[in-house]
Amino acid sequence: GAVVSQHPSRVICKSGTSVKIECRSLDFQATTMFWYRQFPKQSLMLMATSNEGSKATYEQGVEKDKFLINHASLTLSTLTVTSAHPEDSSFYICSARDYAANEKLFFGSGTQLSVL
Amino acid sequence: DQQVKQNSPSLSVQEGRISILNCDYTNSMFDYFLWYKKYPAEGPTFLISISSIKDKNEDGRFTVFLNKSAKHLSLHIVPSQPGDSAVYFCAASPSFYNQGGKLIFGQGTELSVKP
């Protein structure tokens, strides 16, 4: 089946630094990728839709200047958490839609971000 | 405003018995529903789905039932196996053709199947 690779799986950083998370579709092209955030014991919340070659679409309440999304190729989307603060500590997960597989969504394994 | 709710955070079932996971939604515009399974430190994997034109969809040991009037769906696993132990997420979409990404997830139910 389709594979979505997300890297890094875990990152610990100091407050004020920026962190980049990569999401790659390994065996299919993904014009659309999605970024979710999950707090412990809560649901996955869609943050933004990443569109190849164009600007990302952010959900209400998500700061686009805080969470920079770049989708420069058909297989790679990146999420950069800028000037991270402890409240940004969360589990971030990406997904990609495989149009050849009946448009199913495939998820990456997630990134646990801890901001000290 | 939680549009998709899984009110049971956990469920424990004996191996071989039936597991029933429940999900309620509030938005009548949802017309496509999915169940995902998630192991620790891994991303969710698709399990089974159902569109609003159906009230039941079956795939092997997994069956999803949809009750539109009650805005309720359930996932039945029969027989349950220890390998089924995971967190199960219910998700809903406002459109079958726009299912990708625009999913609203429930909080998840952690299923534990005991040998």
pLDDT at A47: 93
A107: nearest CB among B2, B41, B44: B44
Q: Is the pLDDT of residue A104 over 90?
A: no
* Structure tokens, A16: 């004020």
Q: Which residue has the higher pLDDT, A6 or A31?
A: A6
Residue B4 makes CB contacts below 8 A (sequence gap 6+) with: A43, B23, B24, B25, B26, B30, B90, B91, B92, B104, B105, B106
Q: Is the pLDDT of residue B97 over 70?
A: no
pLDDT at B113: 97
pLDDT digits (tens, 9 = 90+) for B34-45: 999 998 878 888
**Which pairs from B47-51 meet CB under 8 Å and 24+ separation?**
B47/B75, B47/B88, B48/B75, B51/B96
Mutate to test the interface with A, among B26, B39, B93, B99 (most CBs of A within 10 A): B99
Chain A contact set for B4 (CB, 8 A): 43
Q: Which residue has the higher pLDDT, A97 or A73?
A: A73
With a pLDDT cut of 90, the percent of chain B lying above it is 72
Cβ of B41 under 8 Å from any chain A Cβ? yes
B65 — pLDDT class (breaks 50, 70, 90): very high
pLDDT at A75: 92
Interface of B with A in 49-88 (CB under 8 A): none
pLDDT at A36: 93
How many A×B Cβ pairs under 8 Å? 59
Q: Is the pLDDT of residue B95 over 70?
A: no
pLDDT digits (tens, 9 = 90+) for A43-63: 889 999 988 888 899 999 999
The C-alpha atoms of residue A44 and residue B37 are separated, in whole angstroms, by 13
pLDDT at B103: 83
CB–CB of B35/B88 below 8 Å?
A: yes
The C-alpha atoms of residue B50 and residue B56 are separated, in whole angstroms, by 7
* Mean residue pLDDT across chain A: 90
